[in-house]
Structure 1
């Protein structure tokens, strides 16, 4: 098979790239996705994502190595294994991040990635259900709407946060991305709106676009310093495709560095250790791994929540409400309200994200989610700009082997300090009049843990990954940068990377919206390069 462009990975950015690179009919595009179709209830009904995460039919189920910063714990790391990638199984929270984060990208040697430059792409990708304005888009492929249910305790939590001194925000994705407000989700008429649904379904009959599912890339073919094709396995058969114009790698922050290394692009010593011929010695491949660190606060309340609303009769009513009106608990994303706050006077932008949900859950020893039985609510505290770093490396030269992921989530003590500050702030919120009248008792961390030292130890052992891996093929102009500011892989012509791996640093909050934006901007950069 011969095409103009091969896109590896049909995830949050890959679907965007396949759509945009094929839209004018100039190029033939092949999209290779390792997972199956996303047309399944677990990936379409928002609340059903709990059935997809850690399910190997929907999740690549990566595993972290023991983390010394958290007492040697291991942890599952979710990655979508369906068309749409992470957007097919994630918590659906749509958050752009803070302008400070993008301006910092530009200052780090990435012109064109400051907030003013990326804002048009954020606007281009969305249809905001609140309407278009100077900050928001009104006719893009991806539908963005506030949560399609409003639990009374969500409103009480927002009111309590304002009583605790956090200013109210009408739109945390608008002009001012600070304060407290309601969550917006990648959602259309109550259903999950993944990038597959937004960008691929409407153009599935496009003559110059071909989508191959359950097609796992095993190597990028590099010849005379140029990417010329891709080897992939489908149905147990090794296949290959030639790319006349180039290859775009969009497999995610865990799989993209692995595939580069399998293709001979990475740290030379590591490649030689596994018997891989070195095409480009690129020490930054697999380095700079980041994730937001989070910890749960939960409390029992005296009114029904989603935990206590699980009878068969209620389930039937909720199902009918969802199918007929696109409303109710089945539309629920992972969070319903959130706040971006500063606990440091010298912070240039909010350093913490608080995510509230009108339910609470526990994680078992394997990281599996189990809903609490009693009526309860929870707030996740997350560090917006973690300083801790990790690595993604090869386990072997066998493409079937998953990568080795080392990440000290709390390797920098200040990340832990910020989690503790966040827990103390949440305690202040639940004590405010709007919420205290519903408060029965603190479940996590528990009232017995009051001192800063006790909260630190709780946070250290209870902290979890937020499933926002990024940074492992970072863009920049230093020696450790894998791609330049145009997302071109250094040392190889006709090869680009466009996914969360190119982020030099994490933006504040959930990153899926940023990944979609990267896909949009990358498509323009690649078209410009091809036309040059």
Structure 2
């Protein structure tokens, strides 16, 4: 088997960006390892196909967390991409850079060189922003589309409610004035998902110095002394050892990157010994600092037609499919999350503390646990929901056995802090104010399930414990920082204590950004490639 300069473990949102940037000069041979398949499913390309991939084991790892007393003893479902493109191939497409202060917090937490100005410049290098009238801004490979001319008309009630409460509005949640009610931009181009595999890996694979190996499960990193030199891979029943002359970069995500480090002997020493793994480096923070957004939706029957009326009937599905086939527009070309934004639950706060979603559709989860937004409820309905933007609780992800195929133990430690519980109540109260406005009240026929409109604080928190779920934004399990005693990688993303090994994905975030995490993950990978090439 030939040697490579760089081996990237994971062809997800970060790994695809790294492959393109590290190979562009033609000087370096790059291998990209992906445990999943190529991702030919039409449901990946179709934006509303998110509803089909949500439970599909062919493209989804379908992780489960350990039960949590704080969430009424429930185990959480964590979909993660098992396909080229990673979780960006199966997510709901919202493209949110995050708030500028999020990245200033990164720098303050020890991630030197990762403040907002660096992040902003990197985003601008990534993006081409497409306006409703066909305007283009930027020259980056990733297309980000303003779909404000396509969202459902029922969304006007959400904006009217925001105006009634004197809440801010924004034309661009990724712009300079990003706070307030707005239409979410999505990473699509001509009505098709523009994930990192399409934007970055596809052009990279046209180069002779880039190799993609799918169906390749990385079992461990091979070290010579303290230097990472190879990756041991299981593929098609064969065990391969693939050598990297320069560096190995883990881009397997917040679940699998810490798992792979621990399987390779880098992690809490006592844990590794208990699993029969000889510790190479006692690194207790590997797998720690786990953060995630928890969110909840409130469902309402509506007094006027919503997407339910368009997509539930067979004739409506056919019309939507025809519109999409002819124009690449319409409900099939959009995210289920059409509107929302960043808000302060109290005007006294220095920054937004909640992210809201307003969706012109309802889809009741069936007893078998399955749901699909392409089969909504047979009556008009809508959803309003929220997630506290910056949780302070911290959990862990650790290996369960020494078997690389065994799923890890995911312990989110949800709602562990008084501040997190207070933020739940604050977010519920904010949504309550919005739903009780004249503008939205006339859209409500009745509540479906728990009725937010007259809940008190205790009821809001109790309902959240019973029904909330992940918003699929796990980060932080290989956090970056200056201090090797308190972090896993340096600000240049090198694993402390060893050579030739970096981590570049959402696991290195010191803090969770205030919004959806796919955009900052791609931004981080783009900047990571610059650092790697500088060091080369």
Q: Provide TM-score, normalisation by structure 2.
A: 0.95
Whole-angstrom distance in 1 between the partners of 2:237 and 2:305:
50
Whole-angstrom distance in 1 between the partners of 2:146 and 2:387:
21
Whole-angstrom distance in 2 between the partners of 1:47 and 1:75:
23
Q: Which residue of 1 is the match for residue 523 of structure 2?
A: 517
Which segment drifts farther, 28-37 or 46-55? 46-55
Whole-angstrom distance in 2 between the partners of 1:292 and 1:265:
27
C-alpha distance after superposition, 1:498-526 (max 9, x if no partner): 00000011001111000000110000011
Offset of 1:327 from its aligned partner?
Answer: 0.7
The 5 Å alignment of 1:232-247 reads 232-247=233-248
Q: 1:491 aligns with which of 477, 494, 497?
A: 497
Whole-angstrom distance in 2 between the partners of 1:420 and 1:41:
40
Whole-angstrom distance in 1 between the partners of 2:272 and 2:411:
17
CA contact (8 A) 2:432 2:453 kept: no
Change (3 A) 1:57 1:434: same
CA contact (8 A) 1:64 1:77 kept: yes
Whole-angstrom distance in 2 between the partners of 1:294 and 1:153:
22
3-state SS of paired residue (1:519) = helix
C-alpha distance after superposition, 1:191-223 (max 9, x if no partner): 111100111112322100001111111111111
CA contact (8 A) 1:100 1:348 kept: no
Offset of 1:324 from its aligned partner?
Answer: 1.4
Matched, 1:402 2:407: yes
Structure 2 unaligned spans of 5+: none
Q: 2:460 aligns with which of 455, 458, 481?
A: 455
Q: Which residue of 1 is the match for residue 393 of structure 2?
A: 388
CA contact (8 A) 1:75 1:367 kept: no
Whole-angstrom distance in 2 between the partners of 1:327 and 1:369:
24
Change (3 A) 1:435 1:114: same
C-alpha distance after superposition, 1:312-343 (max 9, x if no partner): 22111111111211111111213101121111
Offset of 1:168 from its aligned partner?
Answer: 1.2
Q: Which residue of 2 is the match for residue 339 of structure 1?
A: 341
3-state SS of paired residue (2:278) = coil
Whole-angstrom distance in 1 between the partners of 2:447 and 2:466:
18
CA contact (8 A) 1:340 1:350 kept: yes
The 5 Å alignment of 1:15-34 reads 15-34=16-35
CA contact (8 A) 1:103 1:114 kept: yes
Offset of 1:166 from its aligned partner?
Answer: 1.2
Change (3 A) 1:37 1:319: same
CA contact (8 A) 1:388 1:408 kept: yes
CA contact (8 A) 1:125 1:137 kept: no
Whole-angstrom distance in 1 between the partners of 2:497 and 2:56:
38
The 5 Å alignment of 1:391-470 reads 391-446=396-451, 450-470=455-475
CA RMSD, 1 decimal: 1.7
3-state SS of paired residue (2:432) = helix
Q: Provide TM-score, normalisation by structure 1.
A: 0.96
Whole-angstrom distance in 2 between the partners of 1:402 and 1:330:
33
Offset of 1:44 from its aligned partner?
Answer: 0.8
Q: Which residue of 2 is the match for residue 145 of structure 1?
A: 145
Offset of 1:364 from its aligned partner?
Answer: 5.2
Whole-angstrom distance in 2 between the partners of 1:421 and 1:351:
9
Change (3 A) 1:317 1:383: same
Whole-angstrom distance in 1 between the partners of 2:11 and 2:457:
45
Which segment drifts farther, 253-262 or 215-224? 215-224
Whole-angstrom distance in 2 between the partners of 1:444 and 1:492:
53
Offset of 1:366 from its aligned partner?
Answer: 6.7
Q: Which residue of 2 is the match for residue 272 of structure 1?
A: 273
Q: Which residue of 1 is the match for residue 508 of structure 2?
A: 502
Q: Which residue of 1 is the match for residue 231 of structure 2?
A: 230
Change (3 A) 1:367 1:503: farther
C-alpha distance after superposition, 1:376-406 (max 9, x if no partner): 1101210100011110011110111010111
Which segment drifts farther, 71-80 or 426-435? 426-435
Q: 2:377 aligns with which of 356, 367, 372?
A: 372
3-state SS of paired residue (2:155) = helix
Offset of 1:137 from its aligned partner?
Answer: 5.6
Whole-angstrom distance in 1 between the partners of 2:400 and 2:326:
49
C-alpha distance after superposition, 1:47-79 (max 9, x if no partner): 111111121101011110001111110111010
Structure 1 unaligned spans of 5+: none
Whole-angstrom distance in 2 between the partners of 1:445 and 1:421:
17
Q: Which residue of 2 is the match for residue 186 of structure 1?
A: 187
Q: Which residue of 2 is the match for residue 291 of structure 1?
A: 292
Q: Which residue of 2 is the match for residue 528 of structure 1?
A: 534
Whole-angstrom distance in 1 between the partners of 2:287 and 2:386:
27
C-alpha distance after superposition, 1:385-440 (max 9, x if no partner): 00111100111101110101111222223323322222222232233343333221
Offset of 1:138 from its aligned partner?
Answer: 1.0
Which segment drifts farther, 424-433 or 396-405? 424-433
3-state SS of paired residue (2:439) = helix
C-alpha distance after superposition, 1:177-200 (max 9, x if no partner): 211111100111111111001111
Q: Which residue of 2 is the match for residue 109 of structure 1?
A: 110
Change (3 A) 1:126 1:387: same
3-state SS of paired residue (1:253) = helix
Whole-angstrom distance in 1 between the partners of 2:283 and 2:137:
38
Whole-angstrom distance in 2 between the partners of 1:230 and 1:434:
58
CA contact (8 A) 1:280 1:491 kept: yes
CA contact (8 A) 2:309 2:316 kept: no
